[in-house]
A and B are shown apart, each in its own frame.
Chain A
Amino acid sequence: MPDLGPYWLEVLASYIVSLVILAGLVALIWRRSARVHRDLSKLEARSRAAPRTGEHGNG
């Protein structure tokens, strides 16, 4: 750890706050991406199954 002298608080706070904001941003974007991907996969599977069900039902 370098000796940050009298400004240690400002320097450390800059790095910590920025890294927390960046980590939060990455987590939010990643989580939403995973959720939407999962929901879309389920929906696509259901919509692929739906016409077959319809054919059986109508037949």
Chain B
Amino acid sequence: MSLWEYANPKKFMDTTGPLVPWVAGAAAVAMATGLIWGFFLTPDDFRQGSTVRIVFIHVPAAMMAINIWVMMLVTSLVWLIRRHHVSALAAKAAAPIGLAMTVIALITGGLWGQPMWGTWWVWDPRLTSFLVLCLFYIGYIALWQAIEDPDTAADLTAVLCLVGSVFALMSRYAVFFWSQGLHQGASLSVQAGERMAADYRYPLYLCMVAFGLLFVALVLVGTRTEIRARRMKALEARARMTQGLT
């Protein structure tokens, strides 16, 4: 079976319908367990004190903010190259989730930065590229809303997505490119070995899985909604045409 079969809206709806409750349930269980574990059952860090608990929200949200844009980039490319509507609608459905993740990462980052760095905000390469990514998310959503023809909107937002990918990748790799920023390097890194104690690492892994599952559940629901909305528009247009003919 080819992956491209899921580009058929009916096939996509039939396949994802039964999946949504399971993914949403798994996301809820993982989120509740991860956050309760992180908040209630982890010790204070010897340097960061209780603010270390912010990492269980900040890191997964920041990771998802970047990964969602990368997912939007892939689906936008699929739209531009193969013209599969489901991929364009999946990108559209993912954008508000990505925006929410970016806002969470920015707010929790500021709340952690104030006691640890002594400032809510600094024009550090990673923070700045993240703010630009947030603005790209807002622009992307606004562009979808502003253009009436869905194919034109999909084309233009796909191009915007390609441009914004520079900032998504910059957000990810800024800490490696520039060493003058305040933001520390990656907390978890395969190359550099584990930099985080197991007490924090395992609940963090669970929260990352939870945020990932939440995204999958929400993007499936959102894409299904967009497909239905498009079918509704088609039916309304057909009804108007029939009325016009009779």
Contacts and interface: CB of A to CB of B under 8 A. Distances in A.
Whether A associates with B in a native complex is yes
Contact of A18 (B50, B104, B221, B224): B104
A6 B39 contact: no
Interface stretch (B79-87, B138-146, B174-182, B233-241): B233-241
Interface in B91-142: 96-97, 100, 103-104, 107-108, 111-112, 114-115
B96 A17 contact: no
B242 interface: yes
Contact of A5 (B49, B224, B238): B49
Interface string A32-47: 1100110110011011
Interface stretch (B51-59, B67-75, B154-162, B196-204): B51-59
A15 B235 contact: no
A50 B121 CA distance: 60
Interface size class of B (residues with CB under 8 A): 35 or more
Interface in B34-74: 35, 39-40, 44, 49-51, 53-54, 57-58, 61
B225 interface: yes
Given A10-B115, A14-B107, A47-B239, A5 B50 contact: yes
Interface of B is mostly: helix
Given A11-B54, A21-B104, A29-B96, A43 B232 contact: yes
Contacts of A13: 111
Contacts of B51: 7, 10-11
Nearest to B211: A22
B185 to A, nearest CB: 21
Interface size class of A (residues with CB under 8 A): 35 or more
Contacts of B231: 40
A29 B44 contact: no
A33 B13 CA distance: 13
Nearest to A47: B235
Interface of B: 35, 39-40, 44, 49-51, 53-54, 57-58, 61, 96-97, 100, 103-104, 107-108, 111-112, 114-115, 214, 218, 221-222, 224-225, 228-229, 231-232, 235-236, 238-239, 242, 246
Interface of A: 1-8, 10-11, 13-15, 17-18, 21-22, 24-26, 28-30, 32-33, 36-37, 39-40, 43-44, 46-47, 50, 54
